[in-house]
Structure 1
Amino acid sequence: AGLIVLGTMDWRPFKPPSLQGLTIEAVIVDTQALRDRQEQARREAEAAVQRELERERRERELEEQRRKAAEEKRLEDLRLQQLREQQERERQERLQRQQDELERIRQQREEAERQRKLEEERLRQLEARRERDAQARRQAEAQEALQRQLDAEQAAFRAGELATLAQQYALAIQAQVTRNWLRPPTARQGLRCTLRIVQIPGGEVISANIAGRCNGDEATRRSLIAAVERAGSLPYRGFEDVFEREIDFIFTYDGD
């Protein structure tokens, strides 16, 4: 607390005044001053702390900036180093490709020259062979022409024989089926009915069915199938050359 001195120039007998109110005011004044000083000190301390914190923050920022700058420099140096290495690799690769291309061209030229010589030799031998074989070829062609003529004549003769044999075979089948046909009353003259017959070598019938066009009624159709089945086998001996496992046979009836 502060000290307050009260005085007077009057030499009259001193009568101590009542200091109760003044003392309270002085105390209040002194306490406020103390608070002001304390507040000032607190603000100054806070300001000092803030300045210190700001200084530390700036130092951290500067340090972070330096660290980032160093890291950026390191990364940039690394990037440049990698770029230089990549460029060097690419240069080496281009150089290698150029060398490979030159080697490929050289080999192609050598191969082309080798092939040219081989082709010249082949053509020379071919021409010589042509000269040697010319007469033999003409003779062979004449012989082949004669043979073709003979073969054609023989084939025509054979085809005629087979056509005749096929006609005879069809007539034999017609006769075989007719002999075993129990003609129903509804069968009429002009009957034409295609039968598909499956047989095995030897002529044994496996199956018979109406196939294709047939101008007979149902009873006539059934009677024809029954006739084939009743026959049991078709003519075979002498017809081996025109035998087929499956045949389409046109049965005809033009009256007795």
Structure 2
Amino acid sequence: MESTADQLRAFGLSVLFHAALVGLFWLSARYMLTMPEESAIGEPIRATLQASKADLARVQAAIDASERTPVEPKPEPEPVAAKPQPLPEPIPQTSDVPLQPTPQAPQDQPDTVDQERIARVAAEQADRLAREQEERVRQEQVDLTQDILRQQAAERRQRMREQLEEIQREREEAAKRTRREEQRLQQLADLKGAAAATPGPVAPEAPAGDRGADTGLLAAYKAAMLQTADQNWNHIGAPELTHCRVRFTQIPGGEVINVEFMSCPYDSQGREFVDRALRKTPMPYSGFEKVFLRKVELTFCYPREECTR
């Protein structure tokens, strides 16, 4: 089927053809009317056109045919006048929606202002939610960092406290050792002075095992070992006025390597405290090399003043 453009093109060509034909007839008639008549010499000749009826009929038929089809004997296309006037060519649309052959009823179009407002509100809400989420994440990171810093600070403080406590304990132990050593030296000096001031009989030959040492130095040595054991002894929980006899073995330098309980009614914890008291620090050795004893017997009792009465 021919399109509207093809029909319009055919109609235009037909109009131009008829207009050209009419113009040609008009120019021919004008030329004939304006042509000057030339005078001929002599009498004018009169002639009469003799035509038969058949010739006249053929001429009349040709004239009628030319009026009906002035251009060409081809059959004309479908009469344009019989069809309704073509609608103006619609503007091509960019969307894929096909053209509606007939106009549709007007539809309710949403308000453009409302759509813009809704879109703006939605965009603002999305931005606000994004900012809130970002702020929450940042705050969580800050809180986590602060927690880590607080934990690290607490750990540093704890380590410092432990170091200070250790230093304090070491100082106290050093002070205790210093006091014990001073007391031992003072006792040793007192014992030596007392032994020198007290005249006695001629000492007999020293028995085997004491290396010929004098009894005063040996007594001072035993007293110093007892004092060292008492200072190291934690007597909390020990029954009062209860004697606990032990024998320990030491090596040169005063280090105790073995402890034996000879007669001790203390419980397991009390005995453990006695064992620790003997092994905690070396027994006195410097100055007592001549009277050094490998095996020594001591008696633990609390309070010492009451036990010796």
Taking structure 1 as the reference length, the TM-score comes to 0.35
Q: Which structure has more RCO (C-alpha within 8 Å, separation ≥ 6)?
A: 1
TM-score (structure 2 length as normaliser):
0.29
Structure label with greater radius of gyration:
2
